[in-house]
Each structure stands twice: as structure tokens, then as C-alpha cells.
Amino acid sequence: MTSSVDLSVDILIIGAGPAGLYAAYYAGFRGLRVAVLDALDEPGGQISAMYPEKAILDIAGFPSVKGRDLIDGLLAQAAPYSPEYVLGERASNLRHLPDGSVAISTDKDRTIFAGAVVICGGIGAFTPRPLPKGHGFLGRGLSYFVPDLSAHADRDVVIVGGGDSAFDWAAHLEPIAKSVTLVHRRDKFRAHKASVAKVFDSSVQVVVNADVSAVRGEEWISEVDIAHKAGHQDTLSAQSVIAALGFTADLGPLNDWGIAIENRHVLVDTRMQTTAPRVYAAGDITDYPGKVRLIAVGFGEAATAVNNAAAVLDPDAEIFPGHSTEQEN
């Protein structure tokens, strides 16, 4: 991570998720100086924040790869080209300069000058929906993400939610936690059926039609109350409470960048260019007719964006530089 000084690069990648990291590799492969900007403190985007231990099954060439391992591989792939990582900073303003380049300022008073920008911000900045009764316990037993499973080992864990993250974390924590209880306000789940079946076949206690009505403890959470819609209440021992209640997404300053946005997605053409000059986008944040939101698709979009940006930066450059196997080692 760089210190808070201005930077000047050929391409700025906004977003350090899978598409952004692949864009960083491809920019380096094309001989371009690149910086990667992300509001999170570590690369990986939603994967690192929400499901680093989850097996991802739809990455070409990998029958199964853990989220953490995928991110590690992408970082290693880009490493020979020494991209600058600017983490823990959010993009704020974008200015088009007289020479055609752009300047992006961050919320930490840094300015990054770039010949072109590739927005790979996923769903934008995402904020977890809070657990109302958990106020004051964040970092004292309450968490919204599980980047490290071992942090919950040998604890009584209560997971609140009914989506994929809740069930994935329940399944992964069940072998190492003292106990796992999953609490959901309804008896229907948003999670994938296979994930639900796996949890129900495990030792995880699933409590439906109920809410967490109280969280108690001194320095650390020690117990929670579960209020059932039927009218009764239980008290459970708990040293970890994981609130998997979803999150709100916000494109924030991107709305003021002069790019076309519909339904919180950035519109792009076949070159992955937005409606603003030298501003491209790739990954889940983009939209166009027939769009499919998969990590694998984001990789292709990232390469398309970088190659087209490279041709704009150097009119003598080819859009397609040839296959990597044609390059000398």
C-alpha cells in the first residue's frame, strides 16, 4: 500500500476484486504503469470480505477454488508488473484534463493522474445492514464478515440471516466452533438449496421465525436472547454473533462523473467504454444487453477494457497484443 502522495500512472483500476486484479495484470502485460484503488483495506473485494473460504466452482480451469486462493493467484499473476495498490481509500472526484487524461481524487486527499480509468467496482461501496440489538458490540464479539474462520474456533456462534453467506459461514464454522446456531426471521431461505440442505444435515441448530431480541455481555458478548414469533423467548450462550443480513450498495461519487448509470450499473459499449472519454468499466458493475454477472465474464471484460484503453493511449498500438504464449519468457 502506498503512502498518501499523488500518483501518475497510465491506467487506474478502481476496485480490487477479481476483475480489477485481472485488469491490473493485463495492464502490466501490455507494458502500462498501473495503480489499483479500493476502499477496503485488503485486495479481493467481496470475496476477501465475505467468503474467502468458500469454494468457487465456475472459474474456468479450476473445478473448485477457494475465494482466498483465487485472490492470492490473481495477486501473484499481477505481481511481476509491480502495480501500485492504494487501499483503504475511496475514489471521490473525477476531472478530465486538457490533454485528455483524467485526475481522480480520493477521500484521503490524494490525486491519481491517469491516462485512462477502468472501473471494476463490483456493486460499488457496500455497507452491511446492522443488527439493531447488537449496537455497541462490533469488534466485541459481533461481526458482519468472516475473513478468518479460526477467529470463531471453540466459540458458541450465533449467525443471523437466511442467505448464502449465513449458510456458507454456518457450514464452514460447524466443524471448528463449539456450537453454531442459525437464526432467521422467516421459515424460507434465500440461500442455495444445496447449502441449506448441507446445514440441515449438520449439527447446526436452525431457528426459524425468530429474531435476536437482545445481546448482552460485559467486555465481550456472552449471551443473546431469541424472540420467537410464537411468543416465547430463549437465551443462548454466545461469544460470537455474525450478522449476515445483507448489505446496501452505493455507487456514491460515480453518479457525478458524467457516465450513464441505470439501476446502479454503469452502461458500457462493446469496448467496455462508458459514456465518458477514457473511462472504461468491467465486471459486475457494468451493464449491456445480454450481460451475465459471473467472475469469468468479468475477466474477459477487464481484458477488453484494458486493451481498448491501451490503443487510445497509444494510437500506434494494436487493440489485441497477441497471446501471452507468443511472448518471450
CB-count exposure of residue 107 (10 Å: 0-12, 13-18, 19+): middle
The answer to whether the annotation marks 247 as part of a ligand binding site is no
The answer to whether the annotation marks 38 as part of a ligand binding site is yes
Rg (CA), the chain: 22
For residue 311, give the DSSP letter: H
- For 157, the grid coordinates are 456462534
Say whether 120 sits in a helix, a strand or coil: coil
The answer to whether the annotation marks 10 as part of a ligand binding site is no
The answer to whether the annotation marks 325 as part of a ligand binding site is yes
The answer to whether the annotation marks 156 as part of a ligand binding site is no
- Separation CA 178–CA 238 (nearest Å): 10
- CA 165 to mean position of chain CA atoms: 13
The answer to whether the annotation marks 26 as part of a ligand binding site is no
Say whether 211 sits in a helix, a strand or coil: strand
**Count of CB atoms within 10 A of residue 126's CB?**
18
The answer to whether the annotation marks 276 as part of a ligand binding site is no
State in Å, rounded, how far the first CA of the chain is from the last one. Answer: 28
- Separation CA 35–CA 20 (nearest Å): 10
- Binding residues, as ranges, are 38, 46, 51, 91, 126, 284, 325
Return binding residues for FAD: 38, 46, 51, 91, 126, 284, 325
